[in-house]
Amino acid sequence: QVQVVESGGGLVQAGGSLRLSCTASGRTFSVYGFGWFRQAPGKERERVATISWSGKTTTYADSVKGRFTISRDNAENTVYLQMNSLIPEDTAVYYCNAQAYYSGGNFNPGAYWGVGTQVTVSS
């Protein structure tokens, strides 16, 4: 199981952009698919975007389609989440998670969760 560290969060005005990074440990990064999740205060954690181990398949929650883009750089052991046109409803702690050989469809989060990175969007 890989361990991940999320970074890149911050405070941004509505309409702005942020790029989150998820850096994973281990030599087997390339066989893992990844998912970005978020949790707002008082709400359950929700899946935002996923990317398959090959990078060929991505999925997005309806609430972020057209605004967020997930990508990966195997050479850097890093998965990114580019967030554009941010709105206050995007305010949450964002988490990254890994699933071995994830090729698309339902994503089953692994047991390990990082501490997340806080994203705050002001109106």
pLDDT tens for the 123 residues of the chain, in order: 789 999 999 999 999 999 999 999 977 999 999 999 999 999 999 999 999 999 999 999 999 999 999 999 999 999 999 999 999 999 999 999 999 999 998 999 888 888 999 999 999
Cα distances from 107 to residues 16, 49, 103, 110, in angstroms, run: 29, 10, 9, 9
Contact predicate 83/17, CB 8 Å: yes
